[in-house]
Amino acid sequence: MKKHILVISGDGIGQEVTQWGKATLDQIAKNYGHEFIFDEALMGHAAIEVTGNPLPDETLEKAQKSDAILFGAIGHAMYDNDPSLKVRPEQGLLKIRKELGLYANLRPILLFDELLEASSIKSHILKGTDILFFRELTGDVYFGEKSRSEDRNTASDLMIYHKYEVERIAHKAFQAAQQRSKKLCSVDKANVLESSRLWRETVQEIAKQYPEVTTTHMFIDNAAMQLIKDPKQFDVVLTANLFGDILTDEASQIAGSMGMLASASVGDGVGFYEPIHGSAHDIAGKNLANPLASILSAALMLEISFGLKEEAKTLVNAVDQALKEGFRTKDIADQNTEATKVLGTQEMGNKVLGLINVKN
């Protein structure tokens, strides 16, 4: 198999972790006889510094011509501390999602037993959790009309959905549920929001086409509580952009750290694969970042965009084996266990790379 992969490292620790996602993909290609051709491009703060544009035209053109995209992270503290800045890194991410039609964000909550104690939640509540989130990605308040009064004292963001936007991601979620435990929970705020009432009505209509899937509905506030109280009750979770953003960050505590969570943004064309942890400039350049989410994002790319399930499993097994052998990065280390071997970004990346060749 010959594939063109665009690597956009982005900002902060994105530049440190993405090299390991790329390195593991390269090793998989060598082991299985594939040809992965890599190219690179700028986005986010790094792109603003060079071009003044968070998504340069060259980057978008390369993205449109690639078979898949491996992404790192975007963001910088200077923008967080000055909300008045007109050009911001996140604008690049939102635009590429829109331009590539990446309307479905898949976030698997993959729980490794070796990390049960890394979470702040009790291990007996977590054990056995396996959730796949479907977050709608190109609608909602992120893309609705925004306004600010002349005196700067009033602001508004339009929360908007069209029926077709709900339909297309609902179909993807139901199709996934059919291949899993045949359970789907749709999360909204239909008791208050008109956009959520449209969401629920549409999901109820789509559900009739998948009678073998048990469909439930839950308000976002209850879902946030239930996710911590009893995460094993969930299998496939379908929700809107804003709610999905919040719930999946909350769910990172189930996996032990944001540094363990991969994601795939897909539509009907090129796929976009990234860890969910953000740019984390406070630890950038210190060899502290966890590269495992980038490696697991590479595994998602292999499975979803390229259909290489065995190769994807090989990557996941290598990560699992590294954890079984007691290797951890700082964010997932149990400081009370002497057996834990804490590694830096580079060392953990090399450890997983070496284990790709091991039969697990």
Please give, one letter per residue, the 3-state secondary structure of 243-300: HHHHHHHHHHHHHCCHHHCEEEEECCCCEEEEECCCCCCCCCCCCCCCCHHHHHHHHH
- One-letter amino acid identity for 244? G
- Spot the catalytic one: 80, 113, 221, 282: 221
- Spot the catalytic one: 142, 161, 210, 273: 142
- Spot the catalytic one: 98, 249, 313, 324: 249
- Spot the catalytic one: 3, 22, 189, 351: 189
11 catalytic? Reply is: no
57 catalytic? Reply is: no
113 catalytic? Reply is: no
- Spot the catalytic one: 67, 245, 320, 331: 245
273 catalytic? Reply is: no
Q: What span, in angstroms and rounded, lies between the C-alpha atoms of 144 and 156?
A: 10
For the chain, what is the total number of helices (H) and then of strands (E)? 13, 14
Task: List, in sequence order, every beta strand (DSSP E) within the chain.
Answer: 2-10, 35-40, 68-73, 104-110, 130-136, 146-148, 155-157, 183-188, 214-219, 236-239, 262-266, 271-275, 327-328, 341-342
189 catalytic? Reply is: yes
Which neighbouring-strand residues pair with 6? 39, 69
- Residue whose entry in the numeric block shows the structure tokens 């292999």: 302
Residues marked as catalytic: 142, 189, 221, 245, 249
